Amino acid sequence: MSPNLTGAILMMVSMACFTINDAFLKAAGGALPLFQLLFLRGIFSSLLIGGLAWQRGSLRIAVSAQDRRLIALRSVAEVAAAYFFVTALLEMPLANVTAILQVLPLTVTLGSAVFFQEPVGWRRFLAIGIGFAGMLLIVRPGTDGFNVWSLYALIAVICVTVRDLSTRRLSPGVPSLLVTLSASVTVLVAAGFASLTITWAPVTPWLGGLVLASSVFIVGGYFFSVQVMRAGDVSFIAPFRYTGLIWALALGWFVFGDWPAPLTLAGAAIIVATGLFTLYRERSLMRR
């Protein structure tokens, strides 16, 4: 296979892993409190990521003070994103939450222009505006379909945008697995302290299996997303991230019996179309 085809397959596998992880979390979340759920998943995922990072030698590399500050900011954003995203995930249909998250390429592009003065032409600004209009079709503020959980999903988008913008400023030599492990351990510690304020629910073998499966798939998502960056042209591979929405639609329908309303599907289609256009414009500008 060509490097681009390999990268596209890895991206699709990564998106499948992340979405399946969400489905396992949603299935377990009905019986386990949020902080307990995040803490238990954090134990498994941190051990798995830590073992992988140790095996690849990612823990033996010196990191500058500037990169340490960026890693700390990214980890705090990861904690906030985990809280708001998983809370929304447990209360909303899987496809709806995933559709809102598809606006991320647009928010990262906008954030890069605002905070890093990266050049963004009027076409991409127009695409961002249309994409946000598509997001409003999903959230539908001011209607009966809007609730606080939609707001939680939007806050999660902001948190993940901060996380991704922080990642962009890291030095190229900082290992991805080290950054991922830092975020995972930070979520683990934060959820552990927060779980002291709640009453823990008993963990049955079934629930323990769901949490373990969630941990395995999220580590798989992280691992394959790291591999993606080492295969092919990123501008060619990036559009395949939207396959996560297909997985969310399928799992939401078959596992939870949810199917989005027509306006939600229309909003998701608009977001995906504008995201693809933004990626296309970035690729075209890079070739000039």
Reference 42, options 218, 220, 225; nearest CA is 218
> Which pLDDT score is estimated for 84?
96
Of the two residues 254 and 116, the one the predictor is more confident about is 254
Over residues 208-235, the pLDDT tens digits come to: 999 999 999 988 887 787 677 556 665 5
Query: What's the predicted TM-score (pTM) here?
Result: 0.86
Mapping DSSP to helix (H, G, I), strand (E, B) and coil, where does residue 20 land?
A: helix
Query: If you average pLDDT over residues 107-120, what whole number do you get?
Result: 80
Q: How many CB atoms lie within 10 A of CB 239?
A: 17
Over residues 31-90, the pLDDT tens digits come to: 899 999 999 999 999 999 999 889 888 888 888 999 999 999 999 999 999 999 999 999
What Cα–Cα distance (Å) separates residue 284 from each residue in 124, 279, 288?
12, 9, 7
Over residues 271-285, the pLDDT tens digits come to: 888 878 877 766 666
> Which pLDDT score is estimated for 146?
66
Query: If you average pLDDT over residues 119-128, what whole number do you get?
Result: 77
